Amino acid sequence: MAGDVMSRQHRELYGLQILRAIAALAVVVRHTLDMSEGSEAGRLGPYWIATSGGAGVDLFFVISGFIMVYVSFPFGRLPDSPKDFIIKRATRIYPIYWICSAAIAAISAVGFLHSKHIDSYTILNSVLLLPGDKLVFVAWTLSYEVYFYAIFSICLALGRLGPTSLAAMLLMVVGIAFGGQIPNPTFAKFVSSPLVLEFCFGIVLALLFCAGGKWRVPQALSIPGFLAIIVASIFTMQHDAAPDATRVIMWGIPAALIVAAFLNVDRPQSRLGRAAVLLGDASYALYLTHIFVMLGYGWLIKATFVGGVSQVPFVPAIISICIIVGVLTHLLMEKPILEFIRKTLKRQRSREPLEVGSLPS
């Protein structure tokens, strides 16, 4: 399989960028509608709309599994070493996350978050993205990302796409089977969660996509994927009470179908398409920063007239503000930070002697 992998040159996957935008927006809509429930008028819209937004996380997990395989075995050069892989992923995920965590800690310190209990364990979990309570409540998903990165980096030592991917999937399945034996209940529940199978779905899609020949799923198949998520949200995933295994079946499998259908989307030419790609680029910043807009929205509902009137005009406005804040954070903070880190690492790498047989990255 490894010999066939490089038969297709890597290219920009605009469909995945658009999907990232959809996934992040779904989460934003979910939390905005949840916040609207605190008003006298009650939650805006039927519950299943908000519930469906939770599937944005499952889309993110499948996309992550795909991307890690796709970018770790680039066309025309050796795969990343485990060290390089970890450095790249850590510099991508931690800096802006730490900034958001520090901001939440500061807001809590001045008494704005009365319900937020911060102790040494919360701080440790937040800094390292360990399982358990964190300052940024949406960061529970990032803990799974870090767990997947750790497993994948270990398997990268095998040096070939097929063995690396299969070993990563095997380790995650072993974790599900035996993770419950870990003495720490929080870690046991985390490692044994079937949610990690969604990363495996992404790995399988990457293997199929990168293999020789043209593997193409019709884009129209994304429609039954989205419909399946909606139907599951109405009948099975109500109030998010379903166990993780049910979630993987009801949301994870449709998410994998959607990702497969979006892999061959061409570069968008319309303004809306280009805007979706930009929002996909900003999806991580949007995912992290929308919680601050939610805090402001919650305050408006509790402390001003907003809580006593219909939320019809406010929900779209709040979602729009989240998008603006996310994109600005991406352009003015996230991109400059990542560029600075990239240049710093490049300078350090240029001063290191090349090992025999290595290729410059």
Q: What is the pLDDT of residue 6?
A: 36
Q: What is the pLDDT of residue 352?
A: 59
Q: What is the pLDDT of residue 110?
A: 84
With contact defined as beta carbons under 8 Å apart, do 221 and 257 qualify? yes
Q: What is the pLDDT of residue 63?
A: 98
Q: What is the pLDDT of residue 354?
A: 44
Q: What is the pLDDT of residue 157?
A: 86
- Quick: pLDDT tens for 95-133: 999 999 999 999 988 877 766 678 888 899 999 999 999
Q: What is the pLDDT of residue 201?
A: 97
Residue-range domain boundaries for the chain: 2-35+45-268
Q: What is the pLDDT of residue 79?
A: 72
Which residues of the chain have a pLDDT value below 70? Answer: 1-10, 74-78, 114-116, 212-214, 238-241, 351-361
Query: pTM of the prediction?
Result: 0.91
Cα–Cα separations (whole angstroms), residue 80 to 2, 30, 152, 157, 343: 15, 36, 11, 9, 18
Question: At 332, which amino acid appears?
Answer: L
Cα–Cα separations (whole angstroms), residue 7 to 75, 88, 120, 159, 215: 8, 25, 50, 17, 12
